[in-house]
A and B are shown apart, each in its own frame.
Chain A
């Protein structure tokens, strides 16, 4: 028995290439290239019906309003409307491009994303593996039912809690002061800020993030573990050869999805701490858009920034997906 799951291998997309080789004989059962449209409609009619609600939703509540992003190319005023607001072409984008604060925000966004990718992304995976390896269901249930709770606390409260402990007037510094030592102001230090922010995300969202991994881990066929044990694999061997490969595709999927979202690293969390470390360290794309677009009611500028974000995200997802393919993974979509 092979230890790696069979996944989206070429067999599933059909040996389409064989159609071009006449010497191969009659086309295999699942070749799709030459199947006429009508037949496909008939074959897939249930599937198409199943798709209907979802696609309908997408069209009505996503693609139609998405057209509203045309305001990125206009000088949009709500009372004038989409059709009559003056068109300004790429001016909004140029304003962004020329604004050094915009690039500062992009830089902060990317750096923060990298930090979170390296430090935060593995955390739920690690915790899920740890929980999965527990023998006692009671302990596991107990931990599971606690560890996801911070996800539901608002950022205001999270920042406040961190301040109560680590802030200039917090417990830690109170302790240091009491003993005559120099206070350390972690939360006011622009240099440490990205680490602090990542730490907050880890505290808040690790538990919640384990849910998906746990769901993936339970789908691993225990017979595989048994076989591995028989083959002589110890605890770590089983981890390496059974567990990890089994959740590899989910992990990579989440990674690619995360990369597509890489330019959204937070908003409220960073807005709350802007005063302490200054916009130089804390401004990210979403907060930049807020201060530049929203404060003055500049909807067009916000839309332009949103489009810019999307384009960059698209490039990243495409690249990441190709890399995933190179590793033999399905990624998010297959070519």
Chain B
């Protein structure tokens, strides 16, 4: 008897009590859609990763991209990583990303929170001032002149400060703040909590998801800094990773170079793919940490009472 019951004991279900059991059709349809989506996305990545490990000969035989490297080699990665230039640039980029994301989050959260309180002094004009930035952009040269006049040329700050806050991120964060249960905030205020306390004790803990998301957006944008570096940095030792990696791709393929008669050996396909992989690694590492903010249940119970 016991063995039977052991058999029959139902596994704990992830299904919440209020949801119905899934139908086979529903499950099947979902599975199909998801498989297609994942497949369509993964297939090129497998190609990219495989090509980065493939031997030059195999690449030429296969016509450019291989699906499975028969004689895997680390040559491409070695070519990129020796010499310390790439590793140094990674350190630079990590520094910029961490510092930048932190500063951006502080700035954006502060402003978003302030603007989310209805009727706050200067709220409307500031909000419109932010919205305005969605439409018009300052030019490269004027921005350069501002950076120069602040003495920030050829410094890391020139990679952080110009992009410190974006209107999109601000508006999204503000919208999330405004969607928080009004009664909770009002209750706290009635209890005598000041704006800062409300922010620290209530708003932030409830906004982990949006802060994670906006933080991710900023981090990605700092990690990808490219054009700012090109424009503001003179010292190549300050170059961030995207710029350095980019030169591996441009080497020998630049049409301007071709037009100007500068001759180089075109980089093998494997190096180009290795460059893509190296640029992706940090994001792939960071993203899973943020994923747990996207699971349900963060809010349950928070509002009761």
Contacts and interface: CB of A to CB of B under 8 A. Distances in A.
| Direct A/B contact, Cβ within 8 angstroms | yes
Interface in B183-234: 194-196, 199, 209-210, 212-213, 216, 220
A70 to B, nearest CB: 9
Interface residues of A, number: 106
Nearest to B287: A145
B107 A66 contact: no
Interface in B110-128: 110-111, 113-115, 117-122, 124, 126-128
Given A149-B280, A214-B294, A310 B136 contact: yes
Best-buried of A57, A67, A229, A235 by chain B (most CB within 10 Å): A57
A222 B121 contact: no
Interface string A47-81: 11011111101101111111111010000001000
Contacts of B114: 47-48, 50-51
Contacts of B210: 215
Given A211-B216, A215-B293, A218-B299, A69 B164 contact: no
A136 B27 CA distance: 11
A17 interface: no
A221 B119 contact: no
A172 interface: no
A181 interface: no
Interface in B248-305: 276, 279-280, 283-284, 287-288, 291, 293-300, 303-304
Given A143-B37, A332-B131, A71 B300 contact: no
Interface string A123-150: 0000100101111110111111111111
A326 B175 CA distance: 18
Task: Determine the main DSSP class of A at the interface with B.
Answer: helix
6 contacts: A5-B179, A50-B113, A53-B107, A58-B133, A135-B13, A145-B291
Interface of A: 5-8, 12-14, 30, 32, 37, 40-41, 43-44, 46-48, 50-55, 57-58, 60-69, 71, 78, 82, 127, 130, 132-137, 139-150, 152-154, 157, 161, 164, 203, 207, 211-212, 214-223, 225-226, 228-230, 234-235, 249-250, 253-254, 257, 260-261, 299, 302-303, 306-307, 309-311, 313-314, 317, 330, 332-333
Given A47-B113, A47-B120, 16 more contacts: A47-B114, A50-B195, A58-B165, A130-B33, A143-B38, A145-B291, A218-B293, A219-B298, A221-B303, A225-B18, A257-B168, A303-B139, A306-B136, A309-B135, A317-B135, A332-B131
